[in-house]
Amino acid sequence: MSEQDLIRSVDRLVDQVAQWTPARWAASGGSRAVTMHALAQRLADIEAGVTGHPRHEVPRLANDLVLPDQVRVTARDLLAARPSAEVFAEAARAVAETRSALAELRP
């Protein structure tokens, strides 16, 4: 697993959800937004593990339209930490699991 593979998987996910409306984020009882926020948190946690920085809570903002940006930012922070291939693979699995979970929530 490489940096470019992770970038591509995050970009695909963000492209998939970036045009979603507030109503689409709220569908399924808001679990789409919860799922996407959980990915942002997971990527932040992985980055903290790589850098040795304390874990911090990724804020859950009121506007779900920012969720793709939160995922992109936390992924870029992880990339900046220059993790190992194993960490790239872990992050890519988290992105893939999120894509699958969001697909299962389609109306």
* Domain locations in the chain as residue ranges: 3-104
Contact (Cβ atoms closer than 8 angstroms) between residue 60 and residue 41: no
| Placement of tokens 């993790």 in the chain | 83
Average pLDDT over every residue of 89-103: 95
pLDDT number for residue 16: 94
Q: Single out the residue of 67, 81, 59, 71 nearest to residue 11, CA to CA.
A: 71
Model pTM?
Answer: 0.94
Rounded-to-integer distance, Cα 96 and Cα 12, Å: 10
Does the pLDDT value for residue 2 go beyond 90? no
pLDDT number for residue 107: 62
pLDDT number for residue 30: 87
pLDDT in tens, 6-60: 999 999 999 999 999 999 999 888 899 999 999 999 999 999 999 999 999 999 9
Does the pLDDT value for residue 1 go beyond 80? no
